[in-house]
């Protein structure tokens, strides 16, 4: 995948939008749609399996189905296009645009206090950008593209 294609998957912060549960073409959404189809009308069976299999976990099927449905409905296209649905306080997209950079590590002020991230995410953001700076955006993407985001 070339640099411009990678930009459709990685946010300016370097986090892999393409692997987010909310990403419109992401694997979590696609697998959720497939699982939803495979389960069909499982509600009736879940109720029966509580007693039939003596398995109380099936009592939670409605909550599971609700979350699965949510995963099939979210439609984020990545922060470069939509604005991220996860990190409401993120300031990276606007900061990167204001500084005319594709990724934070390309900015002379990196690392800075302009991300809007909490301490855990901030450290991840710094580590990701340092890795991209040391190798390249393309090398970093090749390293993480098939790994889970979470």
Q: Which pLDDT score, from 0 to 100, does residue 10 have?
A: 94
Check: CB of residue 103 under 8 Å from CB of residue 14: yes
pLDDT at 141: 97
Q: Enter the pTM of the model.
A: 0.84
Beta-sheet strands, E only, within 34-136? none
Whether pLDDT at 144 is above 80 = yes
Given a cut of 80, whether residue 146 has pLDDT beyond it is: yes
Please state whether the peptide bond connecting residue 30 to the residue before it is cis, i.e. omega within 30 degrees of 0: no
Q: Where are the alpha helices (DSSP H) in 11-118?
A: 27-39, 43-52, 61-73, 92-98
Domain residue ranges of the chain, discontinuous segments joined by +: 1-17+79-150, 25-73
Residue range 32-53, pLDDT digits in tens:
999 999 999 999 999 999 999 9
- Between 119 and 37, the higher pLDDT residue: 37
């Amino acid at each position: 995948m070339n640099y411009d294609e990678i930009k459709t998957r990685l946010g300016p912060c370097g986090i892999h939008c393409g692997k987010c549960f909310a990403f419109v073409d992401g694997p979590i959404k696609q697998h959720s749609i497939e699982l939803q189809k495979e389960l069909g009308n499982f509600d009736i069976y879940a109720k029966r399996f509580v007693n039939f299999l003596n398995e109380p976990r099936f009592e939670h099927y409605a909550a599971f189905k609700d979350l699965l449905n949510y995963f099939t409905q979210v439609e984020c296209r990545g922060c470069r296009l939509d604005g991220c649905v996860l990190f409401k306080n993120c300031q990276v997209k606007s900061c990167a645009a204001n500084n005319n950079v594709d990724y934070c590590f390309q900015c002379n002020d990196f690392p800075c206090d302009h991300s809007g991230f909490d301490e855990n995410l901030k450290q991840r953001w710094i580590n990701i950008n340092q890795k991209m700076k040391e190798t390249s955006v393309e090398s970093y993407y090749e390293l993480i593209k098939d790994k889970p985001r979470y």
